[in-house]
């Protein structure tokens, strides 16, 4: 039974999932720190202190702290923007660049005498029968 449990734990999917969760948590902390320590102070420098947590309204002696919700919405939007512009866009660009296939070699060329389109390996033009440069007579 212990061997089966060991085989289950060391199975590739379980280990990959665990690594993915740990890396995801570390990456989430990195993005949160980027937003909190760099983007939020930048917004504060441009527009004033961006803290809405004190905004409230009351209805029938119930207080609604909508300012805190506004803070979370702004934080979410900043994290999403940071991920999109600093992670997703560069990775998409790199992936597209890596996928580019080399241009295929042309299989036709133009005859230098009559400018007709002929196969690359042709020794003579089919239209004007001129010998093609770069081909040896067989």
Q: What mean pLDDT do residues 72-99 have?
A: 82
Q: How many CB atoms lie within 10 A of CB 35?
A: 21
In sequence order, the β-bridge partners of residue 59 are 62
Q: What mean pLDDT do residues 29-48 have?
A: 76
- Judgement on whether residues 81 and 115 belong to the same structural domain of the protein: no
Q: Bin 64: left if φ > 0, else alpha if -120 < ψ < 50, else beta.
A: beta
pLDDT, tens digit (0-9, with 9 covering 90-100), for 4-35? 877 776 776 776 787 788 888 888 888 778 77
CATH number for the domain that contains residue 55: 1.10.1200.120
| Domain that residue 118 falls in | 105-138
The SS3 of residue 59 is strand
Q: How many domains does the chain have?
A: 2
- Judgement on whether residues 109 and 88 belong to the same structural domain of the protein: no
């Amino acid at each position: 039974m212990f061997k089966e449990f060991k085989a289950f734990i060391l199975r590739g999917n379980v280990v990959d999932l665990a690594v993915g969760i740990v890396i995801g948590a570390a990456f989430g902390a990195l993005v949160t720190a980027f937003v909190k320590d760099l983007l939020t102070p930048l917004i504060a420098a441009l527009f004033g202190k961006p803290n809405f947590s004190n905004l409230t309204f009351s209805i029938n002696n119930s207080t609604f702290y909508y300012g805190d919700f506004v803070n979370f919405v702004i934080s979410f939007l900043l994290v999403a923007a940071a991920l999109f512009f600093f992670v997703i866009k560069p990775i998409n660009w790199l992936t597209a660049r890596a996928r580019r296939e080399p241009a295929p070699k042309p299989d036709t060329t133009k005859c230098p005498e009559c400018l007709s389109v002929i196969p690359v390996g042709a020794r003579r033009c089919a239209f004007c029968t001129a010998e093609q440069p770069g081909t040896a007579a067989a």
